[in-house]
Structure 1
Amino acid sequence: MNFKLKTITRLFLFILLIGFLAFGSILLSFAYSNNFRTWFIETIVNTEKLKLDIKGKTLLEIGWQPELTLNNISIKNTALPRPENVAEIDQLSLQISIQKLFDGNIFINDLTISKPKVFLFKNMKGETNWSFSDEKADSNVFVFPVIFENLHITSGTFHYYDGISDMNFEGGIDSLKGSGGWQLPITIESKGSYQHKTLNLHASAGSYSELHTEKQPYPVKLNIAFGQTEIAIRGTVLHPLQVPDPKLNLSIKGPDIAELFPLTGIPLPPSSAYKITGDLSRHDSTWHFDNFNGEIGHSDLQGTVLVNPTLEPLYFNMDLFAKTLDLADLSGFIGVETKQSKQSVTEDNSLIPDHHFDLKQLRAANGKARLRATNFINKEIPLTNFDGQLSINNGVLKFEPVTFGIDDGRVNLWMTAYGSQNPPDVDIQINVIDLPLSKLIRKVKDIQKTLGKINGKLKIKGAGNSLKEILSSANGEAYLVQVDGKISALIVELIGLDIFHALGYYIMGDTQIPILCAVVDVDIKEGIARSKTLMLNTKESVVYGNGYLSLQDETFEVAMTPYPRDFSPLTLRSTLNLSGTILNPKFSINPLSTLMLLPPFDIGEVQKIDCKKMIRQAKN
């Protein structure tokens, strides 16, 4: 029995000795052999998809805090060969605490990374080159904590291509410094660039011991300066290593809300300067920006924004409300350039904006948004009750619809832009219902006396990356009709050049003449709108016209011929010509027609106009 025990003991000691010798030889080889270190590290790290390639020398300083230095490193994803490397690092230096390993943590005293280059790629299938495992990781559980005491990154670059949205993102890190400890707060400070704008970051949080404490909320602070955009986050996170429950306050301010796209992935229109503050939280996979209040330009803004970044593509849902809305702050929704670039529009002497949409952003996210407003800061047109709803689905943008009031009338707008095409096809339909003409033209005193409501429809199809390109290529039709209104008698007589009656109204005072009907009916082909019917029928006279409007260069030419119902000795039956551009119109009278001092031969014909028939033809 003693013999067997001695034999087993000797065998155990022999195996233990062999193990120590093998382990010692491995340590010696790892300590003094560059080739062995390279082979050993690559063997441990490499997986079926991940390939670590150490091309330069490796250095090891032995001690209770050994320091390992690797030179000329590259990381590949063998499943996605392009780009060639996921990351390239000029030098990586790592110092580890051996004593802390026995506590169950990897305690890194110092990690220094020099000149890293990161190349991230997502293909059309949504596969990413930074994913090295087929198993989906549980994002709600942090398995094995790594504690960094000091972190330094210098001269880094970052490239990201999203094949689904066909968009490139790039940036750089001039310097990044991080520090922390088991009982010391964690801080990170970074200076660099992103999308050709400066990007500076300063973050602070509780210590690593607080991170592992589930009883107390974990404090976090984050400040980001992206160009002229400033973002601040303050608050706490419950259960940060299990199922994080953040309770944060988010503040954002900047010159243009569209500049948030590279940070959020949500396509937003250009805007005036803004400032927004609200509560940021997470429920399951969806982030909530609730109870926010802010200002965009002269408009106030409240509401809720939901974002689910785990869906492909990202999904958002916005419900926004403005008590007071400045119409100029909505200019970005229709492609009007911002205040900083309005000067170029004026210099071009053009009314239709030519500011290009970045329709690639439409493929970066799906979602829907709604904006409502009750009061408007707008002196020229009395707008009321704005309600705009839009959706983005697989690159297709829809306004469904956008509605607002003008006095007692309504305007409804539908639009569909197919952002997956280049240039995108765009369908636009606008319905106007009972719009008061006097409220639309308020600057001219006599025209303001005009009473009556207009109805109509515009329906066009175009293609382009700006409103100007869309209208310049548009095909479709439009009509406007008015019945049972009134118009200034002075205007009617001046249009008919009835000098006798016009002088009478000028001396004795103006009156209003009933409008029997007015009809404008046009065809639009390749950006040129040509009149089919242009007629104003009053109890005093009938005005016929014809002409065109080019949406390509904003030129127009309209000829109007009045036919008075009565005879005046100073009636000049003449043709009035309007021409020029929308912003620079010119007025002239046909000199030959002014010689006709006799009453028109067709006075009887103007009595036979069938308004109902003409309106019905225009609508059809």
Structure 2
Amino acid sequence: MQRIRRALAWLVAVVLLLVAVLMLFLALFDWNRARPLINEQVSTALQRPFAIEGDLRVVWRPEAGERGLSGWLPWPHFSAEQVRLGNPEWAQGDTFVSLDSARFRLAPLPLLWKTVSIPSIELGTALVDLQRLGDGRANWSFDLGKDAEAEPRDEPAAWTLDIGTIAFARGHVQLDDRSSKTRLEAVVEPLGEPIPFADIVGKGAADRAAAQDYAFAWRTKGDFRGQPIIGDGKVGGLLALHDASLPFPLQADLRIGATRIRVAGSLTDPQNLGALDLRLQLSGNSLSQLYPLTGVTLPDTPAYSTDGRLQADLRDADGAIFRYLDFNGRIGASDIHGDLTFVARQPRPKLSGQLTSNQLLFSDLAPLIGADSAADKRKRGEQDRQPANKVLPVAEFRTERWRTMDADVRFVGKRIVHSEQLPIRNLDTHVLLNDGMLSLEPLRFGMAGGTLDAQIRLNGALTPMQGQLRLSARELRLKQLFPTFAPMQTSLGALNGDASLSGSGNSVAALLGGANGELKMLINDGAVSRGLMEIAGLNVGNYLVGRLFGDEEVKINCAAADLGIKQGLMSTRLFVIDTENAVIKVDGSANFASERLDFTITPATKGFRIFSLRSPLYVRGTFKQPAPGVQATPLALRGAGLVALGVAVAPAAGLLALVAPSAGDEPSQCEPLLQKIRGG
């Protein structure tokens, strides 16, 4: 037993002596002798040149604040001067990163469970050259010696790296990313004195995230995704990779082309780009110009500016989530408010939210479906390809953008500012975009005391695009439709109508040129004159009214229209106008493909009134230049009578569904007319 104790004592003494000798060796060893071996091993592991060209030192001392075994074990503190990491063979230039100095300390105990724990790294002045080719190869990606042909394994890595914080000094960064057409040069320098976080983001934001002070200023210039960029800002000096209680402060003011982006806030868990909490201010000439920067499909608009809070969760399993909360702004002369959420999911990202405008200028209502406008073309230096002799727009919808993302956005315009000729009160629409299928259901306007309700579906996933439209107009009050026309102000009448269209084509002209559908409309208790035509801007109507009624104002008892549309040709099934002087029938067609008109207007005198017109009228020509005139054939019918005018019976029955009482529950004057037609 005595021998065993003596042997154990000797064994412990030998172990302690070996440890002491090892510690003494490590403390006195000139680590510069190990630089060639270290450089060779790191170069082999990284498959690119690595060199510590300056002094290399290791100092062993206990770590302050540590307890237990980790507290009395000495920790190695490494320092290296003039560190350089080279580029791969395909990259331009020899150096990827060069550092004046690098200092860090290593926790010894975690090495037992294969963890390299480095609480902090201090980097000196850095020069960084970032490059990525068009084929995706980037000099910041490392293969680390893996066999590309080896079978994938599910085993975890043998060692893990755990870095706490990174402190840095000044730096110079160059980026040449050919895959995204981006070339940037950035300089980072210490501020004269640190700036408190609250001084830039405000006390409210500072209370939400107790971030460190701003310690460095930065500036950049170059080209970002093909657009010129210039900017500056501030950042903190200590990057906490794991500690969310120490958010990293960010502040930036960037100008990318005509777009200005200003942010101020914090980033947590930078190693994984964990979360953002920023105040975001955006402004530019058009929201559509954000597409090449963000990939988010937005409509062409007038100049805009917004200010709100951007929160991001970049680690969500379904994709990074960005929330633009409680933002306020302006688009043109209209205000805009709301919340938007963008989820970068697969197979397509999705934009959702709700927008409200308290006062919306009607001229600021831009295309919700992203079709090019002439103004947008001029901004890009393109020519307007709209033919001079065409009215219907031939510009193609940009459906390729519809397939890059999904959307579910509700928009409400509480008050619409417009001219007196456009009596629209409010707007309510729900925009849905799913795999190239765009729908506005509903697209609802409050208009002239009534409602204009539409459902629009455009399938941009098909070539050519397919479109469907359903439109319902109910109780549009005539005196509000024409507020500047005095005779109409005593009118109790209203306009009711339904329309349905379907077609295919990648422009408005192509859609209507091959459309199928129908249009039904009733107008009761109105008035008409040349003055009304002038207000409505209808020069042809002014001519026709003058030929039919002269300069008088004539009361309309009822106007009934039932129009069929087949392969772009709209033909009259029933078109009758019942006035106090005459019953007028309209026959003919409008060809949306060729944009040509061919209508005949035939009147029949009522009672004993002398109707001066002795021949039918016509409207021919094109949409752009309609040509009205008087036919050479005299009127064959001089007496009143709907049957004599040859009106159709079946369409009249279909129009009865649109009959509604006038204001004050007065009976509609259209019902007797339609019943008379039915009775033939």
TM-score (norm 2): 0.69
Q: What residue number does 2:350 align with?
A: 315
Structure 1, gaps ≥5 residues long: 43-53, 75-86, 122-127, 160-169
- Kindly provide the amino acid, as one letter, of the partner of residue 350 in structure 2: Y
Q: What residue number does 1:329 align with?
A: 364
Secondary structure of the structure 2 residue equivalent to 1:468: helix
Distance 1:171 1:178, change over 3 A: farther
2:101 is the counterpart of 1:71: no
- Superposition map of 1:243-254 within 5 A: 247-254=277-284
Partner Cα separation in structure 1 for residue 175 and residue 266 of structure 2: 32
2:230 is the counterpart of 1:200: yes
Distance 1:209 1:307, change over 3 A: closer
1:560 CA displacement: 1.5
- Kindly provide the amino acid, as one letter, of the partner of residue 294 in structure 1: G
Partner Cα separation in structure 2 for residue 374 and residue 183 of structure 1: 43
Q: What residue number does 1:577 align with?
A: 618
2:176 is the counterpart of 1:176: no
- Kindly provide the amino acid, as one letter, of the partner of residue 318 in structure 1: G
Deviations 1:297-322 (A, max 9, x none): 12111122222335653232221111
**Correspondence for 1:403 among 426, 444, 450:** 444
Partner Cα separation in structure 2 for residue 467 and residue 495 of structure 1: 29
Stretch deviating more after TM superposition (248-257 or 11-20): 11-20
Deviations 1:139-187 (A, max 9, x none): xx9954444434433360242xxxxxxxxxx221241223469997134
Q: What residue number does 1:519 align with?
A: 561
Q: What residue number does 1:167 align with?
A: none
1:368 CA displacement: 0.9
Secondary structure of the structure 1 residue equivalent to 2:392: coil
1:38 CA displacement: 3.8
Q: What residue number does 1:378 align with?
A: 418
Deviations 1:301-354 (A, max 9, x none): 112222233565323222111121122211322536164558948873544333
Deviations 1:240-269 (A, max 9, x none): 789967553221111001112233332110
Distance 1:17 1:346, change over 3 A: same
Distance 1:431 1:539, change over 3 A: same
Partner Cα separation in structure 2 for residue 449 and residue 341 of structure 1: 46
Secondary structure of the structure 2 residue equivalent to 1:512: strand
Stretch deviating more after TM superposition (550-559 or 273-282): 550-559
- Kindly provide the amino acid, as one letter, of the partner of residue 191 in structure 1: K
Partner Cα separation in structure 2 for residue 423 and residue 337 of structure 1: 20
- Superposition map of 1:432-447 within 5 A: 432-437=473-478, 439-440=480-481
Any conservation in 2 of the 1:556–1:579 contact (CA below 8 Å)? yes
Secondary structure of the structure 2 residue equivalent to 1:404: strand
Partner Cα separation in structure 2 for residue 24 and residue 432 of structure 1: 87
Partner Cα separation in structure 1 for residue 630 and residue 644 of structure 2: 22
Any conservation in 1 of the 2:184–2:224 contact (CA below 8 Å)? no
**Correspondence for 1:280 among 291, 304, 310:** 310
Any conservation in 2 of the 1:222–1:234 contact (CA below 8 Å)? yes
Deviations 1:196-222 (A, max 9, x none): 321334231222178888767654312
Secondary structure of the structure 2 residue equivalent to 1:544: strand
- Sequence identity (%): 18
Partner Cα separation in structure 2 for residue 98 and residue 297 of structure 1: 52
Deviations 1:470-493 (A, max 9, x none): 2233x2212222154233489999
Any conservation in 2 of the 1:384–1:404 contact (CA below 8 Å)? yes
Any conservation in 2 of the 1:142–1:242 contact (CA below 8 Å)? no
Structure having the larger proportion of residues in strand: 1
Structure 2, gaps ≥5 residues long: 1-5, 56-79, 107-117, 147-151, 192-211, 534-540, 659-680
Partner Cα separation in structure 2 for residue 346 and residue 451 of structure 1: 41
Q: What residue number does 2:172 align with?
A: 152
Partner Cα separation in structure 2 for residue 551 and residue 129 of structure 1: 61
1:392 CA displacement: 1.6
Q: What residue number does 2:75 align with?
A: none
Secondary structure of the structure 2 residue equivalent to 1:360: helix
Secondary structure of the structure 2 residue equivalent to 1:416: strand
Q: What residue number does 1:50 align with?
A: none
Q: What residue number does 1:28 align with?
A: 36
Q: What residue number does 2:46 align with?
A: 41
Q: What residue number does 2:198 align with?
A: none
- Kindly provide the amino acid, as one letter, of the partner of residue 83 in structure 2: E
**Correspondence for 1:591 among 629, 632, 635:** 632
Any conservation in 2 of the 1:580–1:586 contact (CA below 8 Å)? yes
Secondary structure of the structure 2 residue equivalent to 1:547: strand
Q: What residue number does 1:532 align with?
A: 573
Q: What residue number does 1:117 align with?
A: 132
Any conservation in 1 of the 2:585–2:645 contact (CA below 8 Å)? no
Partner Cα separation in structure 2 for residue 281 and residue 114 of structure 1: 31
Partner Cα separation in structure 2 for residue 590 and residue 328 of structure 1: 41
Deviations 1:333-382 (A, max 9, x none): 25361645589488735443334332222223223111111222211210
1:16 CA displacement: 9.9
Deviations 1:441-466 (A, max 9, x none): 67888889887323222222223333
Secondary structure of the structure 1 residue equivalent to 2:289: helix
Q: What residue number does 1:94 align with?
A: 98
Deviations 1:261-303 (A, max 9, x none): 2333321100001111123335776433222221111211112
Q: What residue number does 2:402 align with?
A: 362
Secondary structure of the structure 2 residue equivalent to 1:260: helix
Distance 1:452 1:265, change over 3 A: same
1:65 CA displacement: 1.1
Any conservation in 2 of the 1:565–1:606 contact (CA below 8 Å)? no
Tell me how large the CA RMSD over aligned residues is: 4.6
Q: What residue number does 1:289 align with?
A: 324
Q: What residue number does 1:265 align with?
A: 295
1:227 CA displacement: 0.8
**Correspondence for 1:605 among 632, 639, 643:** 643
Q: Which has the larger radius of gyration?
A: 2
1:514 CA displacement: 2.0
Distance 1:25 1:97, change over 3 A: closer
- Kindly provide the amino acid, as one letter, of the partner of residue 44 in structure 2: W
Any conservation in 1 of the 2:574–2:651 contact (CA below 8 Å)? no
Partner Cα separation in structure 1 for residue 509 and residue 364 of structure 2: 20
Any conservation in 2 of the 1:270–1:338 contact (CA below 8 Å)? no
2:592 is the counterpart of 1:557: no
Q: What residue number does 1:162 align with?
A: none
Distance 1:405 1:570, change over 3 A: closer
